[in-house]
Structure 1
């Protein structure tokens, strides 16, 4: 699932009332996605495809931003 799709799912569930368990699942999904993107990015840098590199870097940044948001959540 793409980072933008996971972000949408996260935002929707957060509005409805996000459980700790669900936030943790989303976190692990995004973390796995970012890790896979980083591996793919290393390969793209070897191939030297600037457009694909930029596109993937944007996805990584989006995923890392979502990870930070989840880490900063507070339980009440």
Structure 2
């Protein structure tokens, strides 16, 4: 059995504090978000998921960061091939 793993992090170098949440999706499925966090300049936030779902030999994982009142950023797809 394969286990899906993905981790995301964000280093904030300047600007006002933000409220955001990290998320992930596999194989183009729904985005699953973690809880909200606050972040100020000069800090790095990160999270990771280890999901015990079976995936075929090749799967695609995308990490997300949704900033409240702004936009959602995503990583390029990473494949498990």
Is the TM value for this pair above 0.5? Answer: no
Normalising by structure 2, we get a TM-score of 0.23
Structure with bigger strand share is 2
